[in-house]
Amino acid sequence: MSNTILAGHDFIRDTWYMVAWPEEISADKPLARTVLGDDLVLFRTPNGQPVVLEDRCAHRLAPLSLGRIEEGGIRCMYHGVKFGPTGQCVEIPAQPQGHPNMCVRRYPVVEQSGFIWAWMGNPDNADPTRIIAAPWAHDSRWAPSKGYLHVHAHMSLVADNLLDFGHLPFVHTNTVGAAQQADFSTQVTALTEGVQTDRWYLDVPASRFHQSVGRFTGNVDAWHCFRWHLPAVMSLDSGSAPTGTGAREKPHGTREGAVEFHHIAALTPQDADHTHYFWIHWRNFDVENPDMTDSVHRNVMAAFAEDQAMVEAQHRSVRRGSQTVPKAIMADKALTIVRHQLAKQSTSVD
């Protein structure tokens, strides 16, 4: 990397990355997806187990994503060599035995709470207990909207954007950012592997969307509180409650007269210039209403489109280079902590 903005760290490999929505992979057709520069093929066995292999046949490197899923594995449709879910060759046409040393790289995979996670590093280190819990996925009081963005920017810039509340009143003037939010401070606490950030806006007019669904008669107390899990998963509580109802002292999900949301954003590098951005946004109101699910989806995507335009423009600028050395401001505290933590991990891993 030629610029310090992108030079903070190499991508961490020994971790779980969100690689697909469960409904994207099936036993009918393989899915090709690139993650951390590795070309992957994703599919399900006929009994529904997700499988992630390198998208390379161990015969002559044709993509397995052009192959055929069969009982017991996937068959390369160039010369018909077949590989089991562990990547081991199980059949070679016109040859009595398979090849004991012929195998495709396998990536550990876990399907959990509506996410497909793959471990991109040493499979011996894959620990499923490190995957983020998402209890909202199993609770009928919360309804999800979800989406995906393919961002033409380095993952660290996309992560910075999520870790930074300073941009809300400027990038999101028309969506989630109320102008007066710029004046409220953020409490940032470093964790062992991530950061906790709490930001409350007390006694303010509700943002446009919160007002449209909450129909507040006066000012609100609003909040954005998140936990960041290295390398790049954000678990965010947000919402608005009528001022004077003590929202700040109550746990999320129990606030009187409030519209509340829980959001998980999972960032996965495709390569150094592209990022897969998966998100789920649960709400605690009107949970049976599909129109509301669409409306929340549209609102989240509208806000993210604003972020995407800025971050992609920033990525292009950074790639073009500059003599200027960028300087941190107070609002960068959370992202600075995360960048330090990632830099430490990437040097110890490699």
Binding site for ligand FES (CB under 6 A): 57, 59-60, 62, 76, 78-81
Give whichever of 55 and 260 is closer to ligand FES, judged by the CB atom. 55
Instruction: Examine residue 160 and tell whether it contacts Fe ion (CB under 5 A).
Output: no
Q: Least distance in Å: CB of 80 to ligand FES?
A: 6
Q: In the range 224-243, which residues lie near Fe ion by CB under 5 A?
A: none
Region binding Fe ion by CB under 5 A among candidate stretches 35-43, 67-75, 88-96, 300-308: 300-308
Cross-strand pairs, 199: 186, 224
Proportion of the chain in helix, strand, coil states, percent, rounded to 5: 25, 35, 40
Largest Cα span, the chain: 78
Give whichever of 76 and 311 is closer to ligand FES, judged by the CB atom. 76
Give whichever of 69 and 300 is closer to ligand FES, judged by the CB atom. 69
Residue among 38, 160, 260, 307 that touches Fe ion (CB under 5 A): 307
Whether 102 contacts 58, CB under 8 Å: yes
User: Is the preceding omega at residue 85 within 30 degrees of 0, hence cis?
Assistant: no
Q: Least distance in Å: CB of 236 to ligand FES?
A: 44
Region binding Fe ion by CB under 5 A among candidate stretches 73-81, 93-101, 149-157, 304-312: 304-312
From the list Fe ion, ligand FES, none, partner contacted by residue 76 (C-beta under 5 to 8 A by kind)? ligand FES
Give whichever of 160 and 307 is closer to Fe ion, judged by the CB atom. 307
Instruction: Examine residue 55 and tell whether it contacts Fe ion (CB under 5 A).
Output: no
Give whichever of 80 and 114 is closer to ligand FES, judged by the CB atom. 80
Region binding Fe ion by CB under 5 A among candidate stretches 103-111, 220-228, 302-310, 324-332: 302-310
From the list ligand FES, Fe ion, none, partner contacted by residue 307 (C-beta under 5 to 8 A by kind)? Fe ion
Number of Cβ within 10 Å of residue 324's Cβ equals 7
**Alpha-carbon gap, residue 208 to 90, rounded angstroms:** 58
From the list Fe ion, ligand FES, none, partner contacted by residue 60 (C-beta under 5 to 8 A by kind)? ligand FES
Kindly tell me the number of DSSP H helices and DSSP E strands found in the chain: 5, 18
**Alpha-carbon gap, residue 4 to 325, rounded angstroms:** 8
E strands of 183-272, at which residues?
Answer: 186-191, 194-204, 220-229, 233-242, 259-271
Give whichever of 95 and 217 is closer to ligand FES, judged by the CB atom. 95
- CA-nearest of 142, 143, 335 to 234 is 335
Instruction: Examine residue 38 and tell whether it contacts Fe ion (CB under 5 A).
Output: no
From the list ligand FES, Fe ion, none, partner contacted by residue 81 (C-beta under 5 to 8 A by kind)? ligand FES
Give whichever of 30 and 108 is closer to ligand FES, judged by the CB atom. 30
Residues in contact with Fe ion, total (CB under 5 A)?
Answer: 1
Interacting residues of 331 by C-beta distance below 8 A, sequence separation 6+ = 164, 165, 166, 186
